[in-house]
Amino acid sequence: MPQTDISDSTPVGNRKPPSAVAASLASTLGILSIPLGVLLGFLAGILVAVPATILGSIALRHIYQGMAIGRKRALTGVITGVIGITVPLVVLLFFPAP
């Protein structure tokens, strides 16, 4: 009788993977980056939007690998992070400081 490794095929119950902390941080930072970029200026928006985009990308990678859940939060972080990067750039281009 051949030996088989059943460690990968044995269900452990109906447990879901843990929620991605990076996804929650990404969505929070991404949402904050838009008003910060408009109200406080280019640098404030960029300093918050870049980590939001990076954390959202990391969270999406973990989610696609099945290690975590929270796809909508991760996507929110990436999308709002990109918006938080582009809005201050647009404001800076069209409304330059005197």
Rounded-to-integer distance, Cα 98 and Cα 80, Å: 28
The overall pTM is greater than 0.95: no
Residue 50 belongs to what H/E stretch?
A: helix 42-64
Phi, then psi, of 25 in degrees rounded to 5: -65, -40
pLDDT band at 19 (very low <50, low <70, confident <90, very high): confident
Question: How does pLDDT run across 36-89, given as a tens digit for each residue?
Answer: 877 887 788 889 999 999 999 999 999 999 888 999 999 999 999 999 888 778
The domain limits of the chain are 21-94
pLDDT band at 2 (very low <50, low <70, confident <90, very high): low
Rounded-to-integer distance, Cα 26 and Cα 71, Å: 11
